[in-house]
Amino acid sequence: MKILKVDTLKIPDIKIIHFAKYADRRGYFTEPYRKTICINHPDLKDCMKGVEFVQINESFSKAGVIRGLHFQWNPYMSKLVRTIHGHMIDLFLDIRLGSPTFGKIMGYDMPTSSQTDYGEWIWIPKGFAHGNLFLKDTTIEYLCTGEYSPTCEAGISPKSPDLDWSLCDTKLKLLFDTLANETELISDKDLNGLSLNIWKADERANRFIYNYIEGVKE
């Protein structure tokens, strides 16, 4: 794995990892992940210290699908997410009580192309609700630090009116609004998820405390 650069977004706990692809006339080769390189990289060693991936998920979504916003505890789950084929916009919402960006949601545009000389991961740490929307038929992969825990999960509706989109790129927000108003490709579970304010008043929200959750094992 060769990391070309690591970008920090306006919500600074979210990282974008650009890794090299090596192309020739036959196609390309890439090593998307190597543990020792990630945990020793100066821009990643703090956030990925002690990280162990225990589950790998692959998801295919048709154009127009919206998923999320999902999170879990016991165990917590951080994720590395990438687009294998297609066009995903990744969504992430800060649910850490006391965080300076609590309640703020952003999107990050993650299309793929065989012509680029790099690939991308997005790092979504514990304490964030996660979702996606898809502009094309798309396959994604995500590496998880916790095994799925169906009795310790919850979701906030991506259409909840009390989400703060002020940090999100306006073009991505417009794409979300357009798709959210038109698509029927969202599950009832996700569409009818909690509002942010209802979740904040839920006693389970106290499992996600800023400056506390970061020190808790996955």
Which residues belong to the active site?
70, 142
User: What value, to the nearest 5°, has the Cα angle with vertex 109 and ends 81 and 132?
Assistant: 55
| Helix and strand counts by DSSP (H, E) for the chain | 4, 12
3-state helix, strand, coil in the chain (%, to 5): 15, 40, 45
CA 51 to chain centre: 16
For the record, the structure tokens of 59 come out as 């998801």
Neighbours of 195 (CB within 10 A): 15
Strand 3-8, strand 15-24: pairing: antiparallel
Query: Reading across the β-sheet that carries 66-72, which strands appear in turn?
Result: 105-111, 87-94, 128-134, 66-72, 153-155
| Alpha-carbon span 165 to 186, nearest angstrom | 20
**Residues 6 or more apart in contact with residue 179 via CB below 8 angstroms:** 64, 66, 133, 135
